[in-house]
A and B are shown apart, each in its own frame.
Chain A
Amino acid sequence: MSTMLEVKNLGISFGGLRAVDGFNVNIEKGQLYGLIGPNGAGKTTVFNLLTGVYQPTMGTFSLDGENLTGKNTLEISHKGIARTFQNIRLFSKMTVLDNVKVGLHNKVKYSLASGMLRLPSYFKDEKFLNERAKELLDVFGLYGEREYLASNLPYGKQRKLEIARALATGPKLLLLDEPAAGMNPNETAELMDTIHFVRDEFDMTILLIEHDMKLVGGICEEITVLNFGQVLAQGKPADVLNDPKVVVAYLGE
């Protein structure tokens, strides 16, 4: 197994606040990795660092052996990191199908002129896009709702659509920011199955943030616990979740 994501000593300070401090992690290819921690621990900040939304003030990270430190969001997306957002950020006034097709944007190359004048390359490429989008939507059982506006989907399906859209960009690493937030236990269980399926089907490496420790323990092969921007514990879920330090961080002494 080779390393997909290697993060070394990554950190960022906002003024005097060290939001993330000395974050290290190694994620193997095809691994399902969990990042947990109490509110305000810096989990989403780690995602923002890994996707170029923030530039780290210290440390480096590399994807599949390529150093991506200092690259902007667009470059990182092209290099193969895709993400979902904690507060859903769909293209709400566009259809479900078009949301996925935006994700597929860079998979075809037809020019502005072919788009405006409907030259043959437009039809060829759009056909390809529609087929790819159908495959992705089928995985999440959303194909029947492809003509709906994204904002008209029920909450759970919006979360799924966000994952489908991220997968459409053809990433090497998928970052999921609290994919189960706001879902009921049944929906959560179903979503976890889907994530497993995505990992196996697409041979994807996944790093996911979750609040719910039990849930993460159920599906992740390895986890890291963050607290106040620092790594509190790292390892197999069973060991980490029983670590007294972790229990204290979550429940207090």
Chain B
Amino acid sequence: MNKILTKKNIAALLLIVAIYAVLLTCDSMGLFNRQTKALLVPIGINIMLAVSLNLMVGFLGELSLGHAGFMSVGAYAGCIFTIHAEMPMWLELPLAMLLGGVVAGVFGLLIGIPALRLRGDYLAIVTLAFGEIIRAVLNNVSLVGGAGGLNGIPKYSNYTIVYVMAVITIIIIANLVKSRHGRAICSIRDNIIASEAMGIPVVKYKLMAFIVAAFFAGIAGVLYGHNLGILKPSTFDFNKSIEILVMVVMGGMGSLPGSIIAAFLITVLPEALRSLQDYRMLIYAVVLIAMMLLNNNARFNEFKQRIFSKKATRQGANLTKEGK
């Protein structure tokens, strides 16, 4: 058991508690205005989406343009459940999240199967089509509200619940990546031929990555629905998928802290720029380009490594020494 109480884990736990404590204090002291407070839930949801998509894009190495599709499937499944179920909230919401996650996971499996035959651009188009089909179906089925949207969802989400779920998502995916299953997933990304020759069941692990990623996207969708109280198919369009992908790419493929920071920035940035009025989207785009350029800058990355990872710098130093 003492392996769980390592310095690193204790530090992480303290950080988790500290962030929550800051949130709570700011809220109780009335430091958040209405706009800021309204951002807290979307930040958490976007973190969940970015981290789960990173499993697919960054660790498995398969480009997916349909993450909003998984999110919407989960959202509808979970929200329809809470609308019809008559249960206390503490029971209803977890069940809705589980249901939303499982339904999204099933769709992850369905999309994962063609993904076994396709790679790269081709797979990207399939996932893109999936997202669009889901949206078209939701738009036209009156049972789920059609284009008018699904109304009357109880507003269960608050920043505490979302915070807890985001932390759980991050921990589970971080743990997964460092397990034998995660290594198998990464090995497929790095070299699928060698991976198979080493006895990794490639089919199983590709599907596993798709299902797990879709599962958490589904949960994020459920929280999203219970935050707004209404679900509209048009919110889960191609742009939403791209937005999540931008978070993953900007944060760095295969970097979970990166995804978290990028999800935070991309959620906050459009709001923070609101005072610029007409120039808002222009500046937003410029900032995105600048951040991407910075992320690809060797010197900036060196600087980042020096700050964030002492180990990496030591390696770097050793390598340069050896080189001489």
Contacts and interface: CB of A to CB of B under 8 A. Distances in A.
A250 B172 CA distance: 58
Contacts of B197: 51, 73, 77, 82-83
Interface stretch (B42-50, B131-139, B176-184, B266-274): B176-184
A92 to B, nearest CB: 6
Interface in A58-86: 73-74, 77-78, 82-83, 85
Category for how many chain B residues contact A:
20 to 34
Q: Chain A interface mostly helix, strand, loop or mixed?
A: helix
A105 B186 contact: no
B319 interface: yes
Which 10 A-B pairs rank lowest in CB-CB distance, beginning with the nearest? A115-B179, A77-B199, A91-B190, A89-B194, A102-B187, A73-B196, A89-B191, A91-B187, A116-B172, A116-B176
Interface string B199-216: 111100000100000000
A178 interface: no
A90 B194 contact: yes
Contacts of A112: 176, 179, 181, 208
Contact of B179 (A91, A122, A148): A122
B189 interface: yes
Given A105-B180, A112-B208, A78 B175 contact: no
Contacts of B311: 147
Interface stretch (A2-10, A93-101, A180-188, A219-227): A93-101
A117 B184 contact: no
Interface of B: 3-4, 172, 175-176, 179-184, 186-187, 189-191, 193-202, 208, 254, 311, 315, 319, 322
Contacts of B193: 53, 85, 89
A117 B202 CA distance: 23
10 contacts: A73-B197, A91-B195, A94-B186, A94-B187, A112-B208, A115-B180, A116-B176, A117-B175, A152-B315, A165-B198
A97 B103 CA distance: 37
Nearest to B192: A89
A110 B180 contact: yes
Interface residues of A, number: 42
Given A92-B191, A103-B198, 19 more contacts: A78-B199, A91-B186, A91-B194, A93-B189, A94-B183, A94-B190, A98-B183, A102-B183, A102-B184, A102-B187, A102-B198, A105-B198, A115-B176, A116-B172, A117-B172, A117-B175, A126-B179, A147-B311, A148-B315
B184 A105 contact: yes
Contact of A74 (B4, B182, B199, B315): B199
Interface centre among A82, A105, A108 (most CB of B within 10 A): A105
A108 B180 contact: yes
Interface of A: 51, 53, 73-74, 77-78, 82-83, 85, 89-94, 98, 101-103, 105-106, 108, 110, 112, 114-118, 122-123, 125-126, 129, 147-148, 152, 154, 165-166, 168-169
A105 B190 contact: no
Contacts of B183: 94, 98, 101-102, 105
B208 A98 contact: no
A213 B254 CA distance: 44
Contacts of A90: 190-191, 194
A202 to B, nearest CB: 17
B199 A106 contact: yes
Contacts of B191: 89-92
A116 B202 CA distance: 19
Contacts of B201: 74
B181 A115 contact: yes
B162 to A, nearest CB: 20
A78 B202 CA distance: 13
A53 B192 CA distance: 12
A192 B101 CA distance: 54
Contacts of A115: 175-176, 179-182
A74 B191 CA distance: 14
A91 B190 CA distance: 5
Contacts of A73: 196-197
A89 B191 CA distance: 7
A169 B191 CA distance: 16
Contacts of B319: 148, 152
Nearest to B196: A73
Contacts of A126: 179
Nearest to B2: A123
Contacts of A89: 191, 193-194
B195 A102 contact: yes
A17 to B, nearest CB: 22
Contacts of A148: 315, 319
A191 B96 CA distance: 59
A96 B184 CA distance: 14
